[in-house]
Structure 1
Amino acid sequence: MSVHKEKSATPLKAPILPDIVLQHIQQAAFLWAQRDVLLAEDLPDNDIVAGVDRRLEIDLDGVRVAGHATWPLILAAYDEFPQKGELFLVSWAAIEFADTERVGQAIELGRISGDGVRGLIGALAWHKPAAISSLVRDWIDAHDEFKRFLAVSACVEHGVDPMQRLAGLLRDPEPRVRAVGLRLAGKLKRTALFNDLRGGLDDREESVRFWAAWALGELGSGDLATPELRKVATGGGDHALTALRSAVKAAPDNDIRAWMGALLRSSETAPLAVRGAGMMGDRAILPWLVVQMSNPALAVAAGASLLELFPEARQADDLFTLDPVRAGRTFEEHFGDDSVRLPLADKVKEWALSKGFYAQAR
């Protein structure tokens, strides 16, 4: 979502310093890509993301000040490294400078970029709605399915309701449009579209079925949503954690506890159960979580659940490590050279005792 101050894009007549501007371009692309990775984490650290945002805005200011003369440098940076961060900058600059031709160029780059299209959507999210409203109005009814996808994606990012158009988007021939439209309907809690959401559960595309279930969960129809949500959660795909959170929210506590118990009985799904337990909001499970932290297969999930239940743990020193060696030989053997955020069970227990959280759990 855009919380950033828009500035006018008045190009300077004085020549730019290419080396300095290129540094701004490269750093902005890197920072946005870093931001995207941070936001994709389980429980992103909003303070860290805010710090990245401040640094990113400084580099975008450098591009703003240099104006249209930056365009060859922006394209050169993309040609050298055609990734999502660079596409973000191409798209952001095209919109910032209100250049219709360059916006079209960004669209074509996004069309062929695969997952890199996140950079184009990220640029739409970064700009204020007023800066992209005319584009979205043109795209949402376009014959081009990719433009319709971009339009509804922008609506999701800004929480904008396309009103009567949304029903048509839920029946769009393009699966990506249907999926994002369902996500938007759920986010906006469009109860009038209930039948369309329910119909999405029978869609041939998995992503459409998932977002239909998620949207139904947001509307309080957990009985309809639960089977698909649990299927996606245990499937281990990109939406597994989102599905898990929605599934926990959609069913009564007793049903969720029974499901978690079943998941714990399998080594493949036990980490999901540990993570789901933290989503239920019961701080009394803290001693049990500390026990799970001693198991390499469950420690990452237990650490995430700790942070969900006790956000104040982020400010505590030395509760986590990125070095499996510090956690012990079994962790070193399990993770090898992988860098993962592991809770240190003894440190967590010591911290929890000092705060009185164990006493509260009894």
Structure 2
Amino acid sequence: MEEHTDEASFLWLQRASAVHAPNYSPQQFADLDERLAAHIDGLRVAGDEGWQHALAITDNEGPEDFFVAAVLAIEAVDGRFDDLVERAKDLPEVVPGLISALGWVEPKYLGGRVRALLEDASPLRQKLGVAACALHRRDVGPLLGQLLAGAPDSVRIRALRAAGELGRADLLPQAQSLLGEAKPELRFWAAWAAVLLGDRAQALDVLAAFALKSGPRQPRAFQLALQAMELAPGHALLLDSAALPEAQRLRIIGSGFIGDARYVPWLIEQMAQPATARIAAEAFVTITGVDFNLAQMEVPPPDGFEDGPTDDPDDDNVELPEDIALPWPDIDKIRAWWQQNGARFAPGVRLFMGQPVSPDSCTGVLREGFQRQRVAAALHLALLDARAPLFATSAPAWRQQRWLGDGIPL
């Protein structure tokens, strides 16, 4: 049993990183989910013994441990999940594990439970109920507007996010009414939702302001703002980012979000610098759609280049570098490819994976792209239709495959 609990917790952490990773294909993501499901099933089959092991690891107070226990608790249809939620009131760091569990289990376990969460007076329980509906792309109904109007801030924030995820264009005026909020988190999610729901004016300006301010909201704001903007304002936003920390990285990443082929020669220049080579190659792929593997455009790392944690026991830096999963580009081959193919990529047009942005091209990326590309494809699809739900690229792989096989849920 201990192996099942430890492996399930570890795989959840791996999955949490894989959701936005540049190197996970749909098949690799599905394999990861199958491994995680297998260990949870091992605990499920063991009955009470499996539950006791899952409950015991929650003493570690990590979201990955609460995820494992919460999946079993939700499926038990008794008071176990309520007990975990009570503990989470004093442990905000474990709440992502509870939310993830609500998104992981099948809807048949959630009907009555989610209604009870939504109707509860506890802000945490209401937040969990809204999150569960949003993760399964099930509409909350009129209650979502009521929560936006009068719930505590933590619930309103999750309700704003849900409005954007569910394509609730009818709630756009309520999201817009919060764009002047003094509290940054409310203002950010109001702008994020309003942009997805069709506002390309004030909400986009608010989102752009977050894109130009360093902090945890910046990456999400930067991506959505650049994907939503017309090309000229997008170019201007990149210029405005020049004074920011990590400005060069932001401009490289942002050029891929804008998708204008005018950036390609400059991106090829950035590939000559080890610090920016891999992200520049990724932006190049985002614009052109070239497959580095098929085109044999990958090379080994430069001689003497050190990437990742060192073997020095006194080195406290154990974090994996952000670019470590990206391929090193073969600049000579890329230059040659661009000389042969560049003429078919007209500047002044938004391209995504080598094609103009369209429902068909973005759906193709959802089916075949890497996770980070799929996240961008989902945003493009939602921006094309304010009433369309944002495709849930973090949902269990088998559910995503079902949605894509049956047609994206509307």
Same fold (TM over 0.5): yes
Partner of 1:17: none
Verify: 1:86 aligned to 2:65, yes or no: yes
Q: Could you tell me which runs of 5 or more consecutive residues in structure 1 were left unpaired when the two chains were aligned.
A: 1-20, 329-335
State the SS of the aligned residue for 1:312: coil
- Tell whether 2:36 aligns with 1:56: yes
Structure 1 residue 218, shift from structure 2 partner: 0.9
- Deviations 1:279-303 (Å, cap 9, x if unpaired)? 1223453332121133455445424
How is 1:77-226 mapped onto 2 (pairs within 5 angstroms)?
Answer: 77-79=57-59, 81-98=60-77, 100-226=78-204
2:340 corresponds in structure 1 to 359
1:30 matches 2:10: yes
Say if 1:131 and 1:337 are closer, same or farther in 2 by CA, change over 3 A: closer
Task: From the superposition, tell whether residues 202 and 139 of structure 1 become closer, same or farther in structure 2 (CA, over 3 Å).
Answer: same
Report the AA paired with residue 34 of structure 1.
Q
Q: Of the candidates 47, 50, 54, which is equivalent to residue 74 of structure 1?
A: 54
Q: TM-score, normalised by structure 2?
A: 0.73
* CA distance in 2: counterparts of 1:94 and 1:279, whole angstroms: 41
- Residue identity over aligned pairs, in percent, reads 27
Find the aligned partners of 1:182 and 1:311 in 2 and give their Cα distance: 36
CA distance in 2, matches of 1:274, 1:218: 24
Give the distance between the partners of 1:244 and 1:208, measured in 2 at CA.
17
- Whether the 8 Å contact between 2:268 and 2:334 is mirrored in structure 1 is no
**1:106-165 Cα shifts (integer Å, max 9, x gaps):** 212332322321111110000122211211111112111110010111122111111110
| 1:193 match: secondary structure | helix
Q: Which residue of 2 aligns with 1:326?
A: 305
Partner residue of 1:282?
260
Once structures 1 and 2 are overlaid, which stretch shifts more, 195-204 or 109-118? 109-118
2:62 partner letter: Q
Distance across 2 between alignment mates of 1:103 and 1:206: 31
How far apart, CA to CA, are the structure 2 residues paired with 1:25 and 1:359?
53
With normalisation by structure 1, the TM-score equals 0.82
Distance 1:318 1:250 in 2: 31
User: Residue 252 of structure 2 contacts residue 283 of structure 2 at CA under 8 Å; is this kept in 1?
Assistant: yes
Of residues 301, 312, 318 in structure 1, which corresponds to 2:291?
312
The count of residues paired between Structure 1 and Structure 2 equals: 331
RMSD: 2.8
Per-residue CA deviation, residues 76-106 of structure 1 (Å, 9 max, x unaligned), is 2222x221111101101101222x2211122
d(CA) in 2 for partners of 1:325, 1:208: 46
Q: Larger relative contact order (C-alpha < 8 A, sep ≥ 6)?
A: 2
Residues 180-221 of structure 1 deviation map (CA, whole Å, 9 limit, x = unaligned)? 111111122222222211112122321211111111111221
Is the partner of 2:201 in helix, strand or coil? helix
User: Secondary structure of the equivalent of 2:212?
Assistant: helix
Instruction: Give the whole-Å Cα distance in 2 for the aligned partners of 1:160 and 1:283.
Output: 38
1:167 to partner: Cα distance: 0.5
The DSSP-based 3-state class of the residue aligned with 1:120 is: helix
Shift in CA distance, 191/94, structure 1 to aligned 2, threshold 3 Å:
same
- Aligned counterparts of 1:43 and 1:165: Cα–Cα separation in 2: 39
Q: For structure 2, which runs of at least 5 residues remain unmatched after alignment?
A: 308-316, 344-410
**Cα deviation, residue 228, structure 1:** 1.6
Deviates more, 1:278-287 or 1:178-187: 278-287
Is residue 293–residue 299 contact of structure 1 (8 Å, CA) maintained in 2? yes
Are the equivalent residues in 1 in contact too, given 2:169–2:198 (CA < 8 A)?
A: no
The 8 Å contact of residues 272 and 331 in structure 2, kept in 1 or not, is answered as no
Are the counterparts in 1 of residues 208 and 237 from structure 2 also a CA contact under 8 Å? Answer: no
Equivalent residue number for residue 368 of structure 2: none
Q: Which residue of 2 aligns with 1:232?
A: 210
CA contact (8 A) 1:43 1:308 kept: no
CA contact (8 A) 1:286 1:358 kept: no
Residue matched to 1:7:
none
